[in-house]
Amino acid sequence: MLDKLSHTFAALWQSLLSFIKVILLSRFFLHKPKCSKEELSRGIVVLGNGPSLNDTIANAGKFLSNHNLLAVNFAACADVFTTLRPRYYLLADPHFFKATDQPNVNKMWQRLSMVDWNMTLFVPARMNTSTDHLTSLAGNRHISITKYNTTPVEGLKTVENMLFSSGLGMPRPRNVLIPSIMMALQMGYKKIYVAGADHSWMKTLSVDDNNNVVSIQPHFYKEDDKEVQRVKTEYMHYPLHTIIYSFYVAFKSYFTIARYAKHIGASIINITPGSFIDAFPRENVHD
């Protein structure tokens, strides 16, 4: 009985904190992304950037072409980007919006500016959309920019459901896949496939003799040396327990997403071979 009361009190407290975060951090009256019935009927595949995506592209190309695609992060730098022609693209990391000398970042924006098919670009609502990178897309009539809130919320399930459905908050967005799936749900997709979501970071996690955490995070595209060094340096700033906790946050968020998807009558299916995500049912797809 005491444990149940303690759990309820904690959920109430988290709900109150979530409302405060929404008031302080979220942008209200954002344009809610909408899709036509025709688009929704096609279904959607959220493309993570894990190395397994190469196998999915090679073995399930027809399956991918029959669905709308949502790409993320540096996917535009890959040669296959113009073949996949994703209907949606989502960015979450502030790194993409800062002035930078990172070749991959500049290449990504350049490739996006050359898109010649209709594509919606999702960017965090609190990001400065007047940056040179985003203004470079202004002349491209094929790209429309939609803002979304990244405010992390948790607490009572009814509170979570309300804030998720309104677009004012989402499960803690530890990585780009979390807001990507939430945007697919926001748009009204009832069947969402997740590919390239290996999330096998723990396989490559280690600590060197100087107590620096080393995490190798391979992607389906060729890594840029400067980006590899940036990620390596970033991880050196954190102790191992902090990084492991961030993994916990991400995997826990997927279970929250799975619960919410079931609540609104949607399903999320993981088609990533060898994925570490254990929140969604699996399915093997191939042509």
Q: Report pLDDT digits (tens) over 151-182.
A: 999 999 999 999 999 999 999 999 999 999 99
Average pLDDT over residues 274-283: 96
Q: Quick one: which H or E segment has residue 5? A: helix 2-25
Measured distance CA(212)–CA(209) in Å, rounded: 7
Q: Is the pLDDT of residue 91 over 90?
A: yes
Q: How many CA atoms lie less than 13 Å away from 69 in the CB half-sphere?
A: 25
pLDDT at 164: 97
Measured distance CA(235)–CA(213) in Å, rounded: 6
Name the strands in the sheet holding 191-195, side by side, starting at the edge strand that comes first in the sequence. Answer: 143-148, 119-124, 88-90, 68-72, 44-47, 191-195, 267-270
Measured distance CA(81)–CA(93) in Å, rounded: 20
- Tell me what percent of the residues of the chain surpass a pLDDT of 70: 91
* Residue 147 · residue 165 · CB < 8 Å: no
Average pLDDT over residues 28-53: 89
Measured distance CA(69)–CA(89) in Å, rounded: 8
Q: What is the pTM of this model?
A: 0.92
pLDDT digits (tens, 9 = 90+) for 252-264: 999 999 999 999 9
pLDDT at 241: 93
Question: Which residue shows structure tokens 């049912």?
Answer: 281
Indicate the pairing of strand 191-195 with strand 143-148. unpaired
Q: Is 134 or 231 the better-scoring residue by pLDDT?
A: 134
pLDDT digits (tens, 9 = 90+) for 226-251: 666 666 677 777 889 998 999 999 99
Question: Per-residue confidence at 106, pLDDT binned at 50, 70, 90?
Answer: confident
Q: Quick one: which H or E segment has residue 224? A: none
Q: Is the pLDDT of residue 200 over 80?
A: yes
pLDDT at 210: 87
Q: Is the pLDDT of residue 188 over 70?
A: yes
Q: Is the pLDDT of residue 122 over 80?
A: yes
Q: Is 80 or 221 the better-scoring residue by pLDDT?
A: 80
Helix (H, G, I), strand (E, B) or coil at 181: helix
Average pLDDT over residues 269-283: 96
Mean pLDDT of the chain: 89
